[in-house]
Amino acid sequence: MTAARRAVQENHVTGATVWLTGLPSAGKTTIAYELAGRLREEGRRVEVLDGDEIREFLSAGLGFSREDRHTNVQRIGFVAELLARNGVLALVPVIAPFADSREAVRGRHQANGTAYLEVHVATPVEVCSVRDVKGLYAKQAAGEIAGLTGVDDPYEEPASPDLRIESQDQTVQESAAALHTLLTERGLL
């Protein structure tokens, strides 16, 4: 057992991965950062593994084919599990459009005895396209890009997520509070 792992166990600090999946512009990253701020104020160690940052620094060179998306999700899942088993709450706002990719990440966590929660930020595509934070829906509509998840590329909704957030019906703070409640109920805070 590593010294870091022993310290986590001795201090009874529980890490976990919270994977926020949903369409582009669903609110995943906004909710993750809101929750991270609250958790840091409570003295928790927390990291947000933002999908865009990971693509730039850890998965540069990968495209958006099904295979590349799977590889990207597995890389993120590996880092998240590593953080979580060392007492960090890893918040992962990443689309991860394919159920088998998310299940593989869950399996890695289970194999290592690391807590994993899946949160579906279930914002309808019509709402996401109005938000269009990065201009992706407009570019897709104009024919400038193809393969937009949930529009002309598949998105497999989680069959039984640990939490379903409909961000169009509540504030960011309410969404983060619902996730905080789930973490508390599961004994992770």
Q: Residue 63's pLDDT is what?
A: 86
Q: Residue 8's pLDDT is what?
A: 44
Helix (H) or strand (E) holding 20: strand 16-21
Q: Residue 64's pLDDT is what?
A: 87
pLDDT at 155 exceeding the cut of 50:
yes
Alpha helices in the chain (DSSP H): 3-10, 28-41, 51-57, 66-84, 99-111, 125-131, 136-141, 172-185
Higher-confidence residue: 77 or 61? 77
pLDDT at 169 exceeding the cut of 70:
yes
User: Could you give the CA distance from residue 76 to residue 171 in angstroms, rounded to a whole number?
Assistant: 27
pLDDT tens digits for range 1-60: 443 344 445 555 689 999 999 999 999 999 999 999 999 999 999 999 998 898 888 888
Single-letter residue type at 147: G
Of 30-44, 52-66, 104-118, 155-169, minimum mean pLDDT range: 52-66
Q: Residue 4's pLDDT is what?
A: 39
SS3 for 87?
A: coil
Tokens representing residue 148 in the block: 């937009």
Q: Residue 12's pLDDT is what?
A: 58
Burial class (CB in 10 A: 0-12, 13-18, 19+), 77: buried
Q: Residue 120's pLDDT is what?
A: 98
- Residue 44 has phi, psi (to 5 degrees) of -85, 145
What's the predicted TM-score (pTM) here? 0.91
Q: Residue 99's pLDDT is what?
A: 97
SS3 for 59?
A: coil
SS3 for 169?
A: helix
Question: Mean pLDDT over all residues of the chain?
Answer: 92
> Per-residue confidence at 97, pLDDT binned at 50, 70, 90?
very high
Contact 78, 5 (CB under 8 A): no
